[in-house]
Amino acid sequence: MHEIVAFISGTNTLLAAPHVNRRTLREKGFTDAELAKIESAIPGVFDLDSAFAAWVVGEEAYERLGATKTVRANATGSGGQRSGPFSLLEHLGFSRAQIDDASDVIVGRMTIEGAPHLRDEHYAVFDCANRCGKTGVRFLAAMSHVRMMGAVQPFLSGAISKTVNLPSDATVEDVQNVYEEGWRLGLKAVALYRDGCKASQPLSTGGEKKKDEGKATNGAAGDRPGDTLTPEPLLAPMPQSAEREAQPQLTLNIAPNTRLYGQRARLPKKRHGFTQEARVGGHKIFLRTGEYEDNQLGEIFIDMHKEGAAFRSLMNCFAMSVSIGLQYGVPLQTYVDQFTFTRFEPQGPVEGHPYVKFATSIVDFIFRTLGVEYLHRYDLAHIKPDLDSPAPPEPPSLRQLPHTLESPSAAAHTAIDTTPLPHTREATARSAAMSETLGEGATGSPLDAQLDRMMGDAPVCDVCGHITVRNGACYKCLNCGNSMGCS
């Protein structure tokens, strides 16, 4: 284990180091006190040159060794250009290859790859978010971060504070793949960092300097006039797993502008509807509706401003919950079947509506009205509308407005497919069939026809709840025989 640790973090001493050691440094003019300063600084540096910086060794030692400020300011590389920070070891005659070999032993290689006593199958346990050291090539692929967050996200209510790390050579396509994969896995947020994208960062891998000896002896292209050196890439291309390449792309095969189950279809910013003012048992109520562009109901508002804050707030919350359900695809027919004939105060005669004349509650009146207006549920009306009379002209929809009101691009973005969902179409068809059964074309006895005319504005029986029929100036119940006011 000690050998593995020494391979990674170095021996942290100049003893027994190749090329750069106590013996060679004394020969170059270093004193024992200066060597002690250097060794005390080695555990806190990432490369050997940093341990020989002026703030470690001292300006007096730099002046004595010939590395004056003027020399440091004019220091250049082999090509005549400044190759990087001034290196005291290179100034004293050590080659870059000798410095790198000594740095690997003293400071460490900063990677476990190549360490003694380890096999290749052991390396996966030690993989990090980025390549380690100058020679490391292994690291966790960006998608491994995303997939780990995807496995944990279903168990958390919020987003995950985890950064997806990308190497410095990551492309725009790599970033796009990370965000798309995060979307497919249902992540609430993705934080991404590309190595070296900022001017400074807490940790970074130092770049490997060019080795000069080998190139000069072999007549490298950079040593001849007119030739340029093509720098080798510091980091290898981002590894692409065969599993991800072979994985088919997830497609939903959905036609454009198709409304999905569980997908909320919001109303346009400007919409039409109607406002119905009425009184139920003497209590005033305003029912307002909002419609989609195809005249489908999308929201309701209930205003009972004289009933007190608590009752008014409850009705407002009830209206909002119904509106949200309608926008998520709950059929209006379901609400009508559920809430009609609901009985609680206030209840009684209805004033102001042409077809609904009695309601067992405010909720009963609301959904009777919506059933009559939008589903043509005339069985819920006390006075049947005259279907033979021409209908009043409807207000123009947004699609019939002049084209000057919105630009073509805005119209393309606001267009939405509000086709009713399958269960909505089924409920509408069932309501239409019921209306036909109860309509003018339905056959019945003359008594049924007479009662149909007599029961138009009749209230419910206060004993059994059955709809009464007119009996002179009062009403009587044919179910239990109760007479409401007359003998």
Residue 333 lies in a domain: yes
Specify if 115 maps to a domain: no
Q: Are residues 433 and 327 in the same domain?
A: yes
Kindly state whether residues 385 and 457 are assigned to the same domain. Answer: no
Tell whether 412 is covered by a domain: no
Total residues belonging to the chain: 487
Give the pLDDT mean for 199-226. 48
- Structural tokens at position 73: 């300011």
Residues 352, 479: one domain? no
The rounded mean pLDDT for the chain is: 75
pTM as predicted: 0.36
The string of pLDDT tens digits covering residues 65-103 is 888 888 888 775 544 455 567 888 888 889 888 888 888
Strand partners, 351: 279
Closest alpha carbon to 6 in 140, 110, 92, 88: 110
Number of domains in the chain: 4
Look up residue 81 and give its DSSP letter: S
Q: Quick check: helix, strand or coil at residue 67?
A: coil
CA angle in degrees (0–180, nearest 5) for 211-216-218: 105
Residue 36: pLDDT over 60: yes
pLDDT band at 200 (very low <50, low <70, confident <90, very high): low
Choosing from 62, 77, 106, the residue where a domain stops is 106
pLDDT of residue 116: 85
Q: Are residues 128 and 76 in the same domain?
A: no
135 with 20, same domain: the answer is: no
Q: Give the least confident one: 316-320, 411-415, 473-477.
A: 411-415
pLDDT at 59 (0 to 100): 87
Q: Which residue, 299, 331, 345, is CA-closest to 318?
A: 299
Q: Are residues 325 and 434 in the same domain?
A: yes
Q: What is the pLDDT of residue 231?
A: 39
* Report for 224-238, 308-322, 445-459, 470-484: range of highest mean pLDDT: 308-322
Give the pLDDT band (50/70/90) at residue 292.
very high
Residues 72 and 35 in one domain: yes
pLDDT at 473: 66
- Are 75 and 82 spatial neighbours (Cβ–Cβ below 8 Å)? yes
Q: Which of 39, 32, 207 is nearest to 107 (CA)?
A: 39
Percent of the chain scoring above 70 in pLDDT: 69
User: Residues 293, 341: one domain?
Assistant: yes
In a domain, 431, yes or no: yes
Q: What angle do CA 462, 307, 284 make, to 5 degrees?
A: 65
- Residue 484 pairs with which residues in a beta bridge? 475
pLDDT band at 179 (very low <50, low <70, confident <90, very high): very high
* CB proximity list for 239: less than 8 A, separation 6 or greater: 141
Q: Residue 22 is part of which domain span? A: 2-106
